[in-house]
Chains A and B, each alone.
Chain A
Amino acid sequence: MIVELGHYALVLALALALVQASVPVLGARRGDPVLMAVAGPTALAQFAFVAISFAALISAYVRSDFSVLNVFENSHSAKPLLYKITGVWGNHEGSMLLWVFILSLFGALVALFGGNLPAKLRASVLSVQSWIAVAFDLFILLTSNPFLRIPEAPLEGRDLNPILQDPGLAIHPPLLYVGYVGLSISFSFAVAALLEGRIDAAWARWVRPWTLLAWIFLTLGIAMGSYWAYYTLGWGGWWFWDPVENASFMPWLAATALLHSAVVMEKRNALRVWTILLAILAFSLSLIGTFLVRSGVLTSVHAFANDPSRGIFILAILILFIGGALALFAMRAPLLKQGGLFAPISREGALVLNNLFLVGACGTIFVGTLYPLALEALTGDKISVGAPFFNATFVPLFVPLLMAVPFGPLLAWKRGDLMGAAQRLMAAAAIAAIAIAAMFVMQGGGPVLVPFAIGLAAYLIVGALTDVVERTGLSKLPFKTAFARALGLPRSAWGTALAHCGLGICLLGVIGETQWGIERIAELKPGESISIGRYELRLDGTTTRQGPNYREFAARFTVRSGGEVIGVMTPAKRSFPTRQTVTSETALLTRGVSQLYLALGEANADGMVAVRAYYKPLVLLIWLGAMAMVLAGALSLSDRRLRIGAPQTARARRSLAPAE
């Protein structure tokens, strides 16, 4: 009954979405406030019904109601409660419902917090948001209905893919989806602006917090996914340039570019057309990502070949929305007046450069991800485009970007002083030079590029802090004054510094892990040891135990450094009888920001245990850097007084706000 209720609620949500998609935008065209006022309540009601529907599916999973096909295929009564719930989005149908849930959540948020938007813009944005909702509600109801029943209910379910039975799955997809789908708001704002044919700096001020919110979650989601892959797959890798990863990385790059170009638009009223285009592209890349992952063209031949209706449906949504938005853009963009002149050497110029490189890098990833698909469709040749391709294209585009990053905040708006900025970065350059020299001495040979890469990271971190250090007067004034000044700085200035700093921290981790990591593979008998770096790992013995829905084979290692015991690691293999699969449970031992990493191979008949051991120096910095970016985003987001405001007072507010 609850399941039917959920199904019915989704149909009602679709009906509401149809109303919201048509009535308010019509009202905006006619200038009818009554019609426009329909948007808010329907957005909230739509969210409520999707939430009921989603809750119904969760309840079916929690109750292990195997008369529901989706539950039967992806759940098991012996599964821990957490994985029963997370299993809801561990499959195609459920994850699409989560997608729509988040989409309607964002619509409701705009309805709730968009009170200070002009009525017309608000009505149009909510309508456009609802067009997307209509498309995806239909997609779920017609091709991916999670509420289908089986006539004779089986006694037991097929269980969730064991690799997905991990706390990581509880958080990673929802975070990523909030990021992905959050970009729909920027998209809706862009399309609404094009529909109205009017756009100004206030528009950018409204769009920025939403983009920032989506960006924060996208960053979190990607970082979480990366860490999850790192500890769960047992290969020690944290980024594989896998198409599924690229699908989330491309919107991230576009959203990062959008955040920066929206600053230019907000402060200087320039780059309007470009910002609109980026807003469309960022969400288009999210849709493409959804298509790549959900249509099954990439991984499972069955998902696409057995059920092409889904792939073709998403492809149709893709063409409709991306094509439609771009066509509208082509028609309306010439009407938008370009504003705000600036010299090439200026804050605007630096942000344009940032955009060029980010979009360029995004473009190379796009080609690398889709080229194999296109080639196979056209010629039938099968190729794999892997890490070597992306390293050869992405890295050369990102290095100049990273070198330019510290300059950006130091240049003035309109007309900047490059030499002045360079002088102010002398401290950063000096520290980088010291780091390079120190690395050469420490390394004594080895790859020449590594010291320079470390130097770049040091320059990036110090350079990012230069701006706030100067503005607080930390180097000149007494500490107390500097501290008071630091508190007085706008939070967005701290956000900028911290985000750029995070980039440097992340780079440091990447270099450490890829250049100094050690890998050892060995077969051991109990009592034997292997050494890796300055650590010695001794195999004490092996045990088997029974888990709730698996059997576990674990090996116990004692880790010593310089003769002293520093910890115990117990990597394991779990075998899940229902799916006849085996997963690796890696063991991690954290030393500062470095980690020891152990994964078991198969056990031999003669009692030998195969093990894969890694020493991963600085590896945690990769994710700590990402966390710094997330925190930076949150800081900037809390600086709302700069952005949220009624349009008529915008000019007055801007002159009051401290110059950035």
Chain B
Amino acid sequence: MTRRQRRLSLIAAAGAVLVLAVGLVLAALKESIVFFNSPTDLVDKHVKPGVRVRIGGLVEQGSVARSDGLIVRFAVTDGNSTLPVVYQGLLPDLFREGQGVVAEGALDAQGIFRADSVLAKHDETYMPKEVADALKKQGHWKDEYQKKSGTTSPSRAP
């Protein structure tokens, strides 16, 4: 084999792996990413039942109801719209009324969000990024988080 052929075979191998990697990434981006929506977005964008999405907002006060078989019903609100959610299973340690939550799943035909995973915030100063942004957008950004973390600047978004 000449130097040229050796170099070409090296470039061909590198190209093949590159094409494979890019192809896999593009295919996976098309199929396995999930969009995040606030309850208002869900209405505005007319997200169809059965499409997997993530939703986020605050768990509405007084909305959590448990029933047999570890089924939990609660409502997620961003201040403008409220979305009923059903989840079966154990909730995270930090799930609480009035706190931020992110759930992944899909709407059913009745407009109820069937979640198959629920994430709650990590600690009292942490709120899922999506939730905070969604709340800001809706103009319901609460400043209790800042207060707890020491700064008292009022930060109600316009």
Contact = CB atoms under 8 A, between A and B. Distances in A.
Q: What's the interface size class on A, roughly?
A: 35 or more
A449 interface: no
Which of A341, A383, A573 counts the most B-chain CB atoms under 10 A from its CB? A383
B125 interface: yes
B89 A521 contact: yes
Contacts of B90: 521, 599, 601-602, 610, 612
A306 interface: yes
A581 interface: yes
Which of B3, B28, B104 counts the most A-chain CB atoms under 10 A from its CB? B28
Contacts of B94: 581-582
A364 B21 contact: yes
Interface residues of B, number: 48
A298 B132 CA distance: 13
A533 B27 CA distance: 37
Contact of B151 (A161, A306, A573, A604): A306
B121 to A, nearest CB: 9
Interface of A: 73, 161, 163, 234, 298-302, 306, 341-344, 352-353, 356-357, 360-361, 363-364, 367-368, 371, 381-386, 388-389, 392-393, 396-397, 521-523, 573, 579-584, 599, 601-602, 604, 610, 612
B132 to A, nearest CB: 4
Contact of B133 (A161, A382, A610): A382
B127 A301 contact: yes
Contacts of A367: 25
B124 A581 contact: yes
Nearest to B33: A383
A163 B122 contact: yes
Contacts of B37: 382
Given A299-B126, A579-B124, A581-B123, A381 B35 contact: yes
A218 to B, nearest CB: 22
Nearest to B16: A356
Interface in B75-106: 89-91, 93-94, 104
B17 interface: yes
Contacts of B151: 306
Given A343-B1, A581-B124, A584-B93, A382 B20 contact: no
Given A344-B13, A360-B21, 13 more contacts: A299-B122, A344-B1, A344-B9, A357-B17, A363-B21, A371-B29, A383-B35, A384-B104, A385-B33, A389-B28, A389-B29, A392-B27, A583-B93
Contact of A384 (B10, B13, B54, B125): B54
Nearest to A523: B70
B24 interface: yes
Contacts of B146: 302, 306
Given A582-B94, A584-B93, A344 B10 contact: yes
21 contacts: A161-B122, A299-B122, A301-B133, A306-B146, A343-B6, A363-B21, A367-B25, A368-B28, A382-B36, A383-B34, A383-B35, A384-B54, A389-B28, A389-B32, A392-B32, A397-B20, A397-B21, A581-B93, A581-B94, A582-B93, A601-B70
Nearest to A365: B25
B51 interface: no
Identify the 9 closest CB pairs spanning chains A and B, nearest first. A388-B32, A382-B36, A601-B90, A392-B28, A360-B21, A356-B17, A393-B24, A301-B132, A582-B93
B138 to A, nearest CB: 14
A161 B21 contact: no
B24 A386 contact: no
B interface majority secondary structure: mixed
Given A344-B13, A382-B130, A584-B93, A393 B34 contact: no
A299 B133 CA distance: 12
A655 B90 CA distance: 64
B70 A384 contact: no
B144 to A, nearest CB: 12
Contact of A397 (B24, B31, B93): B24
B65 to A, nearest CB: 13
Interface in B45-88: 54, 66, 69-70
B142 interface: no
Contacts of B127: 300-302
B6 to A, nearest CB: 7
A388 B28 contact: yes
B81 to A, nearest CB: 17
A601 B10 CA distance: 55
Given A344-B13, A360-B17, A389-B28, A382 B124 contact: no
A588 B149 CA distance: 35
B43 interface: no
B6 A302 contact: no
Contact of A234 (B10, B21, B93, B126): B93
B64 to A, nearest CB: 11
A73 B32 CA distance: 40
A514 B66 CA distance: 30
A396 B29 contact: no
B87 to A, nearest CB: 12
A466 B9 CA distance: 28
A341 B3 contact: yes
Nearest to A382: B36
Contacts of A384: 33-34, 36, 54, 104
Contacts of B1: 343-344
Which of A161, A360, A367 counts the most B-chain CB atoms under 10 A from its CB? A360
Which of B14, B18, B32, B123 counts the most A-chain CB atoms under 10 A from its CB? B32
A302 B34 contact: no
A47 to B, nearest CB: 33
Contacts of B126: 299-300, 302
A272 to B, nearest CB: 14
Contact of B145 (A302, A341, A364, A386): A302
Contacts of B149: 302, 306
